[in-house]
A = this chain, B = another copy of it.
């Protein structure tokens, strides 16, 4: 792999949430995160066919505030935790700051999906949706 290779992502939508800052966001959705709106760009409406209320889906986000040259962190920002490689953590600081959020679809209004719980902050770009496989 040539180290200068780059791939280009385009957002397919965005998160609208009452969470406004990374500092106050829960570390994981299961830790008291709110529900939110996932606004899919109408250009991608056809790609939603088959998603229904009650589905469990994976939301992939671009963690736009992630710091990309960080390779090790102390998990949960706890100084008592040992330095750990970011590939062994879910830190938003990582070479490619992709977030992975398992959520339930709570409602559908056109190309807007009510989802939750999700710890992503308001304005986080969404790059893909996938079904949970059993």
Contact = CB atoms under 8 A, between A and B. Distances in A.
A13 B41 CA distance: 31
Contacts of A62: 7
Contacts of A13: 1
Interface of A: 1, 3, 5-14, 28, 41, 43-44, 46-51, 55, 57-58, 60, 62, 71-72, 82-90, 94-96, 98, 100, 125, 127-131, 133
A123 to B, nearest CB: 8
A133 B3 contact: no
Contacts of A82: 50
Copies of this chain in its oligomeric complex: 2
Nearest to A55: B88
Nearest to A62: B7
A88 B48 CA distance: 7
B85 A48 contact: yes
Nearest to A4: B10
Nearest to A3: B41
B96 A12 contact: yes
Contacts of A57: 87
Q: Which of A44, A58, A87, A128 has most B Cβ within 10 Å?
A: A87
